Amino acid sequence: GAGVSQSPSNKVTEKGKDVELRCDPISGHTALYWYRQRLGQGLEFLIYFQGNSAPDKSGLPSDRFSAERTGESVSTLTIQRTQQEDSAVYLCASSPFTGGYTFGSGTRLTVV
Amino acid sequence: GESVGLHLPTLSVQEGDNSIINCAYSNSASDYFIWYKQESGKGPQFIIDIRSNMDKRQGQRVTVLLNKTVKHLSLQIAATQPGDSAVYFCAESGMDSSYKLIFGSGTRLLVRP
């Protein structure tokens, strides 16, 4: 597609449930990033994938968070046993190896 | 995880005036810097970037200045328009961090008509 696509755009879930967020990067982009943005705040790095290299998971806040990506395709971010503090917009970005990041519009997650 | 979760400062300017948004970055090894614009309900949008071997770069109505000595980055917007109202973020990346972007605290720009 022309841009980075994220789904769903909005997700309301009950505390304790698991959620899966999806990111479709721009075709040919080798790098993919997940960020979290709480209301009125900046972007918090979560995880980074570059081709077939081992992902940089240094930003994941707890072991309830995990992400997968197969090759240079779709990525899913999974949050297990969601908590209210997980409520945020989750943004995905992709870039070619040389940089030039493009962000999706994000998934707004609300944990009630 | 790395976080820049600060409450956003606000810059209010009159339409037609020039705007200057400042950012202090943290890593002296960073060599690539980007400014993003984020409108409400949307993801960040690329504005302009600069590499550490430059100290100034100009785009359409925007200029980025880089001062590596004091680790300071600024974004200048000429003839600010109502459509420029948004939150602006700087981001840094270093060659040794595999292009992982670290975002600075954002600044909300409000343009008064």
Q: Where are the beta strands (DSSP E) in chain A?
A: 5-7, 10-13, 19-24, 31-37, 43-50, 65-69, 75-79, 88-95, 102-103, 107-111
Contact criterion met (CB below 8 Å) for A112 and A13 = yes
**Quick one: tokens of A111?**
């944990």
Please tell me the predicted confidence (pLDDT) of residue B3. 35
Nearest-angstrom CA–CA distance, B14 and B23? 21
| Cis peptide, bond prior to residue B82, ω within 30 of zero | no
Chain B residues near residue A53 by CB distance under 8 angstroms? 98
The residue that leads in pLDDT, A70 or A86, is A86
Nearest-angstrom CA–CA distance, B5 and B105? 7
Contact criterion met (CB below 8 Å) for A60 and A66 = yes
In angstroms, the Cα distances linking B53 to B50, B56, B67 are 8, 10, 11
pLDDT average per 10 residues of sequence, chain B (113 residues): 53 96 88 92 91 95 95 96 95 70 88 93
Whether A48 sits inside 8 A of B8 (CB atoms) is no
Contact criterion met (CB below 8 Å) for A107 and B44 = no
Chain A residues near residue B48 by CB distance under 8 angstroms? none
Average pLDDT over chain A reads 92
Per-residue confidence at A108, pLDDT binned at 50, 70, 90? very high
Classified as helix, coil or strand, A94 is: strand
Whether A45 sits inside 8 A of B43 (CB atoms) is no
pLDDT single digits (tens) A20-43: 999 999 998 988 999 999 987 889
Please tell me the predicted confidence (pLDDT) of residue A1. 53
**Quick one: tokens of A74?**
């779709």
Please tell me the predicted confidence (pLDDT) of residue B5. 33
pLDDT single digits (tens) A55-78: 989 999 999 999 999 877 899 999
Chain A residues near residue B106 by CB distance under 8 angstroms? 41-42
Please tell me the predicted confidence (pLDDT) of residue B1. 34
Q: What is the mean pLDDT of residues A86-95?
A: 95
Whether A102 sits inside 8 A of B103 (CB atoms) is no
